[in-house]
A and B are shown apart, each in its own frame.
Chain A
Amino acid sequence: MKFFAFIVVLFTGALLIYGTVDMPNWGDPNSPPNSHVSPRYIEKTLEETATPNAVTSVLADYRGYDTLGETTVIFTAGVVCIMLLRRVK
């Protein structure tokens, strides 16, 4: 069973590494995120969200769903801590 798990881990790792082959180079100015997404955020953030801080507008507005997940992770950490450690007499 352990050997089977090792094979699965090896296969998944190889798949992930194979997936990175197609990725654009680090910091490539012509990659799709840098040529479409980032300029749009920088140009439109004040006009669309009335927020001068682009980091906040991306974090909480354009990528709000991501931040909801992060908050849920923190909440889960707190709940698990209570469940594991709290002794109620």
Chain B
Amino acid sequence: MKERYPDVTIETICRLLIPPIQLFALYVIAHGHYSPGGGFQGGCILGASFIMMFIAYDIGEVKRKMQEKLNTILCSTGVLIFAGIGLICLILGANYLDYGILHNILPVHQAKARALGTLGIEIGVGIAVTSVMVSIFLNIATAGEHEGEP
């Protein structure tokens, strides 16, 4: 692992920029119904904010906040949310990923249930894309050797 050179300018700028970037990423995911955006785009922005944190700070310090184990679990949780919502539709008696049937368990009418199902899978996609981005960056940037980082 390469030695770290602390730089107050980069750290301060990242400290100021990362919260708005993460907020904007959540907005892009949640507002995908009304404006361009959705799970893939928002997840990429959220992942980029974590990558920015990795670049500006020590990898070990960021790994204490965003643990690798949790990150790997989140990878599969995102896909599981997507497939799980499809499975719920299947159990309720509709086709796979046919969200209209969700109005049986949600207190809304059919069209709104489809919108909520779409939002659910967008959140799943966002979680998966975010953690995969972070995981790929972490493993490629350190060539997989970030075990005992302080």
Contacts and interface: CB of A to CB of B under 8 A. Distances in A.
Interface of A: 47-53, 55-57, 59-61, 64-65, 67-68, 70-72, 74-75, 77-79, 81-82, 84-89
A71 B140 contact: no
Interface residues of B, number: 43
A52 to B, nearest CB: 6
B148 interface: yes
Contacts, number: 102
Interface in B109-150: 111-112, 114-115, 117-118, 121-122, 124-125, 128-129, 131-132, 135-136, 139-140, 143-145, 147-148
Nearest to B98: A64
Contacts of A86: 139, 144
B99 interface: yes
Consensus secondary structure, chain B interface: helix
A7 B96 CA distance: 40
B125 A67 contact: yes
Nearest to A46: B111
